[in-house]
Amino acid sequence: MNMYLHHGMSVYFGEALEKIGENLREVHPTVLVGVPRIFEKILAKVQERAAARGRLNGALCNWAIEIGKQRAQFVVRRLPIPLWLTVRHKVADPPVYAKWRKAMGGRIRIFVSGGAALSNDVALAFLGAGLPIVQGYGLTETSPVITAGQLQDNRVGTSGKPIRNVEVRIAADGEIETRGPHVMRGYWNKSAETSAVLTDDGWFKTGDIGILDADGYLTITDRKKELLKTSGGKYIAPQPIEQLIKSSRFVNQVVVIGNNRKFAAALIVPEWDQLEAYAKLKGLNLGSRGEFCRHPRIIDLFERQIAARTQNLAQFEKIKRLALLDQELTVEGGELTPTLKVKRRVVDDKYRDVIDGIYGGTDFSL
C-alpha cells in the first residue's frame, strides 16, 4: 500500500470473484494485482462466453488462444516470430483479443499475480492476447516482496529475480531462504518461533520449495509442508500436478491427495457449465450434480483429460484414481484461505469418506 501512495495511485478493491469483470469495466484500471485463481476464472469465462455464442465462436476463441500462446512463447524466449504466426495472430486480434482487452477495462498495462504459482498456460494465454501477467513472490515476514517479474523481463513460469538488496538461496532440502533488510527482526514475544525460521547466519526460511536457475530467476514448486509422501516413500509436490490438471476446460478446482497412501489420487470440482454442455452434446440425460459425479461416462471423460495432461510425469506422480465433488471449495466453507489457497487438512477431514472410498478401490479407477 505504501508503494501505491508513493506513486499517487488510485486503488480499488474488487467486490467479489464473480464481479471482477464488472468491476474492471467500471474502474478501467491500468494495473491489476491478484491471485492465480482470478486469472484462471477470467480465462474460463472468456472461453465460456465464446462457446455460448455458438460452436463456431467457441472454436474461433480456442484457436485464437492457442495462436496467442504459441506467439507468446517466441516473445518470452526473445526469438524471431515466424511470418505465418504473425499473420494468424493479427487475424485473431479483432474478433478475440481486442474484445478480451476491452472486457478488462480497455486500459490494462500489466497484471501482477502472487500468492501461489500461476499456470504457464494461463500466463501464455493472457500474454498472447496483449495482457501480460508478471509474477511476484514474498511473505509478510519479508516486507513482503522477495522477487518480482518485470514487463521487459517477463520469464513465464518464474516469479522473477530478487529485488534490489535482497539475496535468495536454495537450502539442501530445496527450501527457499532469503536474507536482506526486508526480513523481519522476529515474531513479537515469540523467541522460539523466531529461532525456528531464522538460520544462524541470518537467512529466513520461507517454508516454500523452489528452484533458482542459472540466470537468477526463482520458480516456486510447492509449500514444504504440503509435499506428499506415499507409503512407498516417494515425495510428490501436488501443486505442479494440479496446474497440469487445471489446464482442462472441464476442471474448476483440483486437490491432489496421497499422503501416506499407496498412490496419488485427485479430488476434482468440475467446471459445471462446460460439463453440462458436454453431457448435452453427448446426449447424456443426467439429473443432479451428484449423478454427474458418479456417471461412468463422466468419470471416463476426466480420466482421459488427466491422462493426456500428465503423461510426462514420473509413474509415482501420476493420478491413479479420482473422485468428483459436486460442491465448490470456498473460503466460507473453510476449505480455502482468503487468498484462495487450499487448506489440505480441512479438505482431508471434510471429504474423509470420499477419500476412503478412493483408496478402498470401490470406484474411480484410472
Domain 227-359 fold = GMP Synthetase; Chain A, domain 3 (3.30.300)
pLDDT value at residue 361 = 54
- Region 25-40: what's the mean pLDDT? 94
Cell numbers representing residue 289 in the block:
450434480
- Region 122-126: what's the mean pLDDT? 97
Average pLDDT, the chain: 93
Fold: same for 158-224 and 227-359: no
Q: Domain locations in the chain? A: 2-131, 158-224, 227-359
The model's pLDDT over 300-324, given as tens digits with 9 standing for 90+, comes to: 999 999 999 999 999 999 999 999 9
pLDDT value at residue 1 = 67
What share of the chain in percent tops pLDDT 70? Answer: 98
Look at residue 364 and tell me whether its pLDDT is greater than 50.
Answer: no
Cell numbers representing residue 199 in the block:
538460520
The model's pLDDT over 194-248, given as tens digits with 9 standing for 90+, comes to: 999 999 999 999 999 999 999 999 999 888 989 999 999 999 999 999 999 999 9
Quote the CA–CA distance of 210 and 223 in Å, as a whole number: 9
pLDDT value at residue 362 = 45
The model's pLDDT over 42-85, given as tens digits with 9 standing for 90+, comes to: 998 999 899 889 989 999 999 999 999 999 999 999 999 999 99
The model's pLDDT over 261-302, given as tens digits with 9 standing for 90+, comes to: 999 999 999 999 889 889 988 998 888 899 989 999 999 999
Selection from 270, 299, 319, 308 nearest residue 364 by Cα: 299
pLDDT value at residue 117 = 84
The 10 Å Cβ neighbour count of residue 345 is 10
3-state secondary structure the chain: CHHHHHCCCCCCCCCCHHHHHHHHHHHCCCEEEECHHHHHHHHHHHHHHHHHCCHHHHHHHHHHHHHHHHHHHHHHCCCCCCHHHHHHHHHHHHHHHHHHHHHCCCCCCEEEECCCCCCHHHHHHHHHCCCCEEEEEECHHHCCEEEECECCECCCCCCCEECCCCEEEECCCCEEEEECCCCCCCCCCCHHHHHHHECCCCCEEEEEEEEECCCCCEEEEEEHHHCEECCCCCEECHHHHHHHHHCCCCEEEEEEECCCCCCEEEEEEECHHHHHHHHHHCCCCCCCHHHHHHCHHHHHHHHHHHHHHCCCCCHHHCEEEEEECCCCCCCCCCCECCCCCECHHHHHHHCHHHHHHHHCCCCCEC
Cα 210-346-194 angle, rounded to 5 deg? 50
pLDDT value at residue 185 = 93
88 phi, psi to nearest 5 deg:
-65, -35
Look at residue 15 and tell me whether its pLDDT is greater than 50.
Answer: yes
269 phi, psi to nearest 5 deg:
-100, 115
The model's pLDDT over 141-158, given as tens digits with 9 standing for 90+, comes to: 999 999 999 999 899 999
Full-model pTM: 0.84
Is there a contact between 192 and 167 (Cβ–Cβ < 8 Å)? no
Look at residue 132 and tell me whether its pLDDT is greater than 60.
Answer: yes
Sheet of 31-34, strands arranged across: 31-34, 110-113, 133-138, 145-148, 161-162
Cell numbers representing residue 203 in the block:
537467512
CATH architecture of 158-224: Roll (2.30)
